[in-house]
């Protein structure tokens, strides 16, 4: 049965690395993009840098989790609706406004 709230989406993001979450965030800000511009966005952000292969592997993992899709005709990555909901739930959690049972009281 599909989840009617975003609690399970937030849990799935909690299991991801910072690189996974950062790629989702960059995609939410830039819209559809190839791996190159995503890589450059992360290298601009990370003080220690990041390997392009790592970015590509991380994007593929996000595709496997159905948070991102990859269009074969233009090699662009796009957030899925699940990815958008997961980011929204994460942002709500970070802001302290999540509505999960047993959450903020």
Summarised one tens digit per residue, pLDDT across range 28-65 is 999 999 999 999 999 999 988 899 999 999 999 999 99
In a domain, residue 71? The reply is: yes
**CA 42/CA 36 separation, integer angstroms:** 10
In a domain, residue 105? The reply is: no
Residue-number span of the structural domain to which 43 is assigned: 7-95
Question: How many domains are contained in the chain?
Answer: 1
pLDDT at 27 over 50: yes
In a domain, residue 55? The reply is: yes
For position 27, which CATH number holds? Answer: 1.10.10.10
In a domain, residue 103? The reply is: no
Closest alpha carbon to 46 in 74, 22, 13: 22
Cβ neighbours around 20 below 10 Å, total:
18
- State the residue for tokens 């392009």: 52
In a domain, residue 17? The reply is: yes
In a domain, residue 101? The reply is: no
pLDDT category at 74 given cuts 50, 70, 90 is confident
In a domain, residue 76? The reply is: yes
């Amino acid at each position: 049965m599909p989840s009617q709230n975003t609690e399970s989406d937030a849990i799935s993001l909690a299991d991801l690395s910072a690189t996974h979450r950062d790629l989702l965030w960059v995609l939410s800000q830039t819209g559809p993009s190839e791996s190159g511009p995503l890589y450059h966005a992360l290298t601009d952000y990370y003080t220690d840098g990041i390997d392009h292969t790592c970015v590509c592997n991380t994007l593929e993992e996000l595709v496997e989790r159905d948070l991102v899709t990859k269009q074969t005709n233009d090699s662009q990555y796009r957030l899925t609706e699940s990815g958008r909901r997961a980011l929204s739930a994460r942002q709500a959690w970070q802001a302290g406004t999540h509505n999960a049972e047993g959450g903020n009281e």
